[in-house]
Amino acid sequence: MMINPIHAQDDDPHALIHVVQRGETLSRIAQRYGLSTGQLSSVNNLSNPSNIWVGQRLVIPTDAHDGLGLVTIQAFHQIRPGETLRSIANRYGTTTESLQQLNNIANPNVIYVGQQIRIHADSQEVIADQTSSVDQPSLTHVVQRGETLFGIATTYGVSMAEIQQINHITNPSRIYIGQQLTIVGATDQIMGDARELPEMLQEISLNPLILAEGQTSQVILQTSIPTTIEGNFLGRTIPFFAQDDGTKHLGFLPVPIFTEPNIYPFELTITSDQQVETMTLNIQVTLGTYGTQRIFLPDDRTNLLGTGVEENEEQIMQSVVSRITQERYFGSSMSLPAASAMNAPFGAKRSYNGGEYDRYHRGADFASPTGAPVLATAPGRVVLADTLHICGVGIVVDHGWGVYTAYCHMSERLVNLGDFVNAGQTIGLVGNSGRATGAHLHWELWVNGVAVDPLQWTRITFQ
């Protein structure tokens, strides 16, 4: 993150360092600290006051701004893909050892994407949303005397509306000295770049940076020349799909439910005609908060709790949803499959008929009445249209690139195997078939053979 100002790292305890931002002039900086342009020029040995540049460090004597209500800027950094502790230390003019000590990091190689680390010892604690879906660097800006929201937005190269939305500001004219503003997506010219990428790799991004069990992250890589990409995460091969003549590659990282919270390696191999390069990112997986449910089946359906029944149906589903279609049919997100409220979320641990909580809910349920329309959530091809023991009357749609949706417990199917469906098309009617306790729609989403939270795909935009 960019720091402005920070305590000077020299022998003068009565000085601050101001880092020049885009759009700032020496006159504006001097006014901000209650100084004259001449004073700033003299302290910093500036021969030409009009010739300052973005990133230049200017000494600001602290006795020049006593009583102005200035506060120490929080200096934290969120680790991006490709950054190392060494590269971050170099960027901020500190040392790896200092960062390790400040952040209690025993092994500098075990830092992870999305981790918030303290840069300076006098930084205060910042509570950050580490599960944010925005895969962009963020920083904390403390409002100074004379600043406006428009000026702050201009400085960091972001829009005023973005700052308002992230910080819940309804009236942009009502900001105050000392107010802490989260700035997301500041331009690289402002933020700098601490990444150490393989030679062929120009850009890499993850969305979101930190995953909970049952969630999905999208990986996008940009290479300088045509390449092929291979990935491995949580013991699974991660397929990548090439665009732009083999220089852009997209893939998905699904995290199975019940994955233990920990830091896991994501291994990448980048291959061209001339060379092979490898890269490993550390990805944090956190605990999902999905809750519990108690389900009571009617007597005539308790036989559907048998282990053999579940294993057989799992094998059927896996044989369908583990295939990879190279063509992509879905767009940037999924729509909802029913015009009704959700009454059972993905991931909840379930107890059946008073038993142990030894199963989990693999999809999301919608409380639709019998006969209500079931809607395809994205374009795709029907690859299963059958009546199963647990799913009941069900449909599975292949959306390409390893992404599938399943629609269960219906009373009637309105499409057949091999049909191509469009988003919003009615493909069936809600029912009470299979292992159900009443009329509702059960909706699942699978990525690379892993069942994940389908509601995440309605909230996040994937490229």
Q: Residues 271, 387: one domain?
A: no
Q: For position 447, which CATH number holds?
A: 2.70.70.10
319 plus 383 within the same structural domain: yes
In a domain, 427, yes or no: yes
Say which residue, 462 or 148, is predicted with more confidence.
Answer: 462
Question: Which residues have a Cβ under 8 Å from the Cβ of 118 and sit 6 or more positions away?
Answer: 75, 76, 99, 102, 103
The last residue of one of the domains, among 267, 286, 305, is 286
Residue 79 inside a domain? The answer is: no
Taking phi over 0 as left and psi of -120 to 50 as alpha, with beta for the rest, 424 belongs to: left
Residues 17, 8: Cα–Cα separation, whole Å: 5
How far is the C-alpha of 400 from the C-alpha of 403, rounded, in Å? Answer: 6
In a domain, 8, yes or no: no
Same domain, 327 and 451: yes
Nearest to 32 by CA among 59, 70, 72, 6: 70
Same domain, 307 and 257: no
pTM of the model: 0.72
Residue ending a domain, among 256, 286, 316, is 286
How many Å apart are CA 218 and CA 135, to the nearest integer?
10
Whether 406 contacts 423, CB under 8 Å: no
Q: Are residues 251 and 336 in the same domain?
A: no
Strands 441-447 and 403-413: antiparallel
The tally of domains found in the chain comes to: 2
Those residues whose C-beta lies under 8 Å from the C-beta of residue 135, and which sit 6 or more positions away, are 205, 206, 207, 208, 209
Q: Would you state the pLDDT for residue 34?
A: 66
| Domain identity same for 311 and 434 | yes
455 and 310 housed in the same domain: yes
| pLDDT, tens digit, 9 for 90 and up, residues 102-152 | 899 999 888 999 888 887 665 443 333 333 333 455 566 767 766 778 777
What range defines the domain where residue 397 resides? 292-459
Q: Do residues 403 and 305 share a domain?
A: yes
**pLDDT at 317 exceeding the cut of 70:** yes
Q: Are residues 225 and 252 in the same domain?
A: yes
Residue 138 has a pLDDT of 58
Domain identity same for 278 and 245: yes
In angstroms, rounded to a whole number, what is the distance separating the alpha carbons of residues 444 and 452? Answer: 8
Q: What is the pLDDT of residues 168-193, one digit of tens each?
A: 888 877 888 767 787 776 654 444 56
Residues 280 and 297 in one domain: no
Task: Give the Cα separation of 413 and 422 in Å (integer).
Answer: 15
User: Does residue 25 lie within any of the structural domains?
Assistant: no
Where does the pLDDT of residue 47 fall: very low under 50, low under 70, confident under 90, or very high at 90 and above? confident
Which pLDDT band holds residue 46 (cuts at 50, 70, 90)? confident
Average pLDDT over residues 33-44: 74
Q: Are 239 and 325 in contact (CB under 8 A)?
A: no
Report the pLDDT averaged over residues 447-455: 97
Residue 337, in any domain of the structure: yes
* Residue 350 and residue 264 share a domain: no
In a domain, 198, yes or no: no
54 against 82, higher pLDDT: 82
What is the distance between the alpha carbons of residues 366 and 341, in angstroms, rounded to a whole number?
Answer: 6
Q: Would you say residue 62 lies in a domain?
A: no
Q: What CATH code is carried by the domain that includes residue 223?
A: 2.60.40.10
- What percentage of the chain carries pLDDT values higher than 70? 84
Give domain status of residue 160, yes or no: no
Residue 72 has pLDDT above 50, yes or no: no
How many angstroms separate the CA atoms of 387 and 174, rounded? Answer: 60
- Considering 239, 262, 286, which residue would you say is the last residue of a domain? 286
> Regarding predicted confidence, which is higher, 359 or 190?
359
What rounded mean pLDDT belongs to the chain? 84
